[in-house]
Amino acid sequence: MKVASHKINCITATCPACGLLCDDIALENNNNKIKVLTKGCEKAVSFFEQPVGDTTPLINGKPATLQQAIAHAAKLIKTSQQPLFAGLSTDVQGFRAIYNLAQKTNASMQHMNAQSMTRNLKVLQSSGWQTTTLTEVKNRADLIVCIGTDVVSHNPRFFERFVWAETALFTEPHRRQIIYIGDKYLKTKHGQQPHGYSAEHIQCTNEDLPEILAVLNALVLNKPIKAKQVCGVAIDQLQELADDLKDAQYAVLAWLAADLDFAHAELAIGQITQMVSTLNLNSRAAGLPLGGSDGDTSANNANTWLSGLTLNDEVIEHDLMVWVNSFGSEKSPKISEKPLIVIGNNSAPLPRSRVPSPAYGRGLLMNDKGQGQTTSAPQSQDSPQTPVISPSPVSGRGVGERSDAAQIPEVFIPIATPGLDCSGTLFRIDSSVVLPLMRVRENALPTLSEVVNRIEALL
């Protein structure tokens, strides 16, 4: 590289790594290598500093040209009777393209976060809800109850940006009261007031939440409770919380569907939204669903206006899977005998060998909850299998090389990541705010739309 072409640019970018879409991330582009300068959380750093990876498409693990890979993918899709387009980790523009292709090929669609999204949708579709958005939280909330989640494990900057803000329109941010209900492992230190009180933590297992929330609901409704405790939680403690909720100027009850990972978790969410409804008869309160990743809110919104229906988590019969994974290479589909086309991010190279490691036979497949993992790799936010990540001497910070855990796709087409390699549009977790993503580094990776349109042209 000539010195003359060596450029350093500073950019303020929007981060798609979680549902908060922080759009204040300062980046440095030093000759096409991105470094996060300020405001980046761990997830943002992993996202922006991921390497470009190998841009070569693969057919059965062997290098191919883009045209060959597209032609091969088109052939597979054409011969498939029941294609399933899964993963769907992309932005609005990418989703539109993949939706059109699904329409033309009679394919089914499922997002990688379908399970957690469905927990919320079940409540929305059975009773509706009363919710708020992040700017309202920042300026109004004087009491925030985090239910079954510490939020920060998924949305690292939640407290920094929306709770402990320097100033707010209608409340004193530093005096906000934070209460957690949930597992003892929750990281509650983020809820501590700056120079003030620690957050209260009502400890219980998440599976006990429906029962505890039912009692709390009764207390909010002024129904007498004879018991002294519920699931190990003192009724007096819940009574205090019920009183605080009623006295609050603007109480916010936050939950994160991905963290409510137990059977019929929608019942817990339903208890929360019911409580919000009751509180609003006399005072103001609002629910706040948090989390979000991999463009799930965007895919669900776009699917809804395009098809009239939400994405769901039904088990879908298929004879071919097209896995779309734009934002990070670490989430891959469950291993199956069905042919697999992967159109996605390639910051970590896919296995090229056709011989799977003996350790990953069919007997070790993940179930829907990611159980059955043989390693201590961090569990992904939602259900898809998290391939084993091992440190790689060549890759950048936070991103390792894949092991052979993932199925070798019949076709792999690397594509541009929105917000990094190409522009795009994403919905924030509260669905109200939609932000543009920008291209922050240069490379020749095609966008998902370009690849899909070229596949479509061959059908």
Partner 1 sequence: MITLLKNGKLYDPAHNKNGVVEDIYIRDGYIIAKVNAADKINQTIDLTGKIVMAGAIDMHSHIGGGKVNIARMMLPEFREALKQYSEPEAHICTPNCSHHATPTSTETGFRYIEMGYTAAFEPAILPINARQAHLEMADTPMIDKGGYTMLGNDDYFLRLLSDKTDQKAINDYVAWTLHATQAIGIKVVNPGGISAFKFNQRRLNLDENNVYYQVTPRDILKSLSRAVNELGIAKPLHVHCNNLGAAGNFQTTLDTIQASDGVPMHLTHIQFHSYGLEGDKKFSSAAAQIAEAININKHITADVGQILFGQTVTASGDSMMQHLNARHASPKKSVIMDIECDAGCGVVPFKYRDQNYVNALQWAIGLELFLSVTDPWRIFLTTDHPNGAPFTSYPHLIRLLMDKSFRNEAFAKLNLDAQAMTNLPSLTREYSLYEIAIMTRAGAAKLIGLKNCGHLGAGAQADITVYSEQANKEAMFGQPDYVFKNGELVVKDGKVVKVVWGATHVTKPVFDMSVEKNLKQYFDKYHTIQLDNFKISNDEIADNGRGKLVSHSKT
Return the number of the residue (99 or 180) whose C-beta is nearest partner 1.
99
Q: Which of 55, 68, 82, 310 binds partner 1 (CB under 8 A)?
A: 310
225/218 Cα distance (integer angstroms): 8
Query: Is residue 172 involved in binding partner 1 (CB under 8 A)?
Result: no
Smallest distance from the beta carbon of 31 to partner 1, in angstroms?
26
Residues 250-269 that bind partner 1 (CB under 8 A): 250
Return the number of the residue (25 or 215) whose C-beta is nearest partner 1.
25
Return the number of the residue (106 or 198) whose C-beta is nearest partner 1.
106
Return the number of the residue (389 or 452) whose C-beta is nearest partner 1.
452
107/109 Cα distance (integer angstroms): 7
User: How far, in Å, are 26, 44, 91, 165 from residue 14 at the CA level?
Assistant: 9, 9, 13, 19
Question: 177-182 and 200-203: which strand pairing?
Answer: parallel
Residue in this structure with the two tokens 């300020």, named with its chain if needed: 38
Return the number of the residue (43 or 402) whose C-beta is nearest partner 1.
43
Query: Is residue 9 involved in binding partner 1 (CB under 8 A)?
Result: no
Residues 86-105 that bind partner 1 (CB under 8 A): 92, 96
Backbone angles phi, psi at 432, to 5 degrees: -90, -35
Query: Is residue 18 involved in binding partner 1 (CB under 8 A)?
Result: no
Return the number of the residue (132 or 417) whose C-beta is nearest partner 1.
132
Cβ neighbors of 378 (< 8 A, separation 6 or more) are 386
Residue in this structure with the two tokens 């609002």, named with its chain if needed: 286
Cβ neighbors of 222 (< 8 A, separation 6 or more) are none
Cβ neighbors of 78 (< 8 A, separation 6 or more) are 105, 458, 459
* Span from 239-247, 346-354, 367-375, 423-431 in contact with partner 1 (CB under 8 A): 423-431
Return the number of the residue (134 or 230) whose C-beta is nearest partner 1.
134
- Rg of the chain, C-alpha, whole Å: 23
Strand blocks (E) in 211-332 = 229-230, 233-234, 251-256, 285-290, 320-325
Smallest distance from the beta carbon of 170 to partner 1, in angstroms?
7
Query: Is residue 198 involved in binding partner 1 (CB under 8 A)?
Result: no
Nearest CA among 238, 240, 196 for reference residue 216 = 238
Query: Is residue 239 involved in binding partner 1 (CB under 8 A)?
Result: no
Query: Is residue 130 involved in binding partner 1 (CB under 8 A)?
Result: yes
Return the number of the residue (3 or 309) whose C-beta is nearest partner 1.
309
115/49 Cα distance (integer angstroms): 29
Backbone angles phi, psi at 172, to 5 degrees: -95, 105
* Span from 123-131, 228-236, 349-357, 390-398 in contact with partner 1 (CB under 8 A): 123-131
Backbone angles phi, psi at 113, to 5 degrees: -100, 25
Smallest distance from the beta carbon of 283 to partner 1, in angstroms?
6
Return the number of the residue (119 or 138) whose C-beta is nearest partner 1.
138
Return the number of the residue (392 or 431) whose C-beta is nearest partner 1.
431
Alpha helices (H) along 290-417: 296-307
Q: Which of 35, 161, 246, 352 binds partner 1 (CB under 8 A)?
A: 161
Smallest distance from the beta carbon of 281 to partner 1, in angstroms?
10
Residue in this structure with the two tokens 């883009």, named with its chain if needed: 66
* Span from 49-57, 224-232, 257-265, 305-313 in contact with partner 1 (CB under 8 A): 305-313
Return the number of the residue (216 or 279) whose C-beta is nearest partner 1.
279
- Asked whether the CA dihedral 337, 342, 345, 346 is positive or negative, the reply is positive
As a dihedral over the C-alpha atoms of residue 376, residue 378, residue 381, residue 386, rounded to 10 degrees, the angle is -70
Are 280 and 251 in contact, with CB atoms under 8 Å apart? no
Query: Is residue 24 involved in binding partner 1 (CB under 8 A)?
Result: yes
Query: Is residue 309 involved in binding partner 1 (CB under 8 A)?
Result: yes
Query: Is residue 127 involved in binding partner 1 (CB under 8 A)?
Result: yes
For helices 266-279 and 235-247, angle between their N-to-C axes, nearest 10 degrees? 50
Q: Which DSSP state fits 207? A: G
Return the number of the residue (32 or 130) whose C-beta is nearest partner 1.
130
Query: Is residue 436 involved in binding partner 1 (CB under 8 A)?
Result: yes
Binding mask of the shown chain, residues 281 to 300, with x at each position contacting partner 1 by CB under 8 A: --xx-x-------------x
Query: Is residue 38 involved in binding partner 1 (CB under 8 A)?
Result: no
22/20 Cα distance (integer angstroms): 6
β-partners of residue 325 are: 89, 344
Q: How many residues does the chain have?
A: 459
* Span from 224-232, 370-378, 399-407, 430-438 in contact with partner 1 (CB under 8 A): 430-438
Query: Is residue 274 involved in binding partner 1 (CB under 8 A)?
Result: no
Chain residues in the site for partner 1 (CB under 8 A): 12, 14, 21, 23-24, 92, 96, 121, 124-136, 138-140, 161-162, 166-170, 250, 280, 283-284, 286, 300-302, 304-310, 425, 427, 431-436
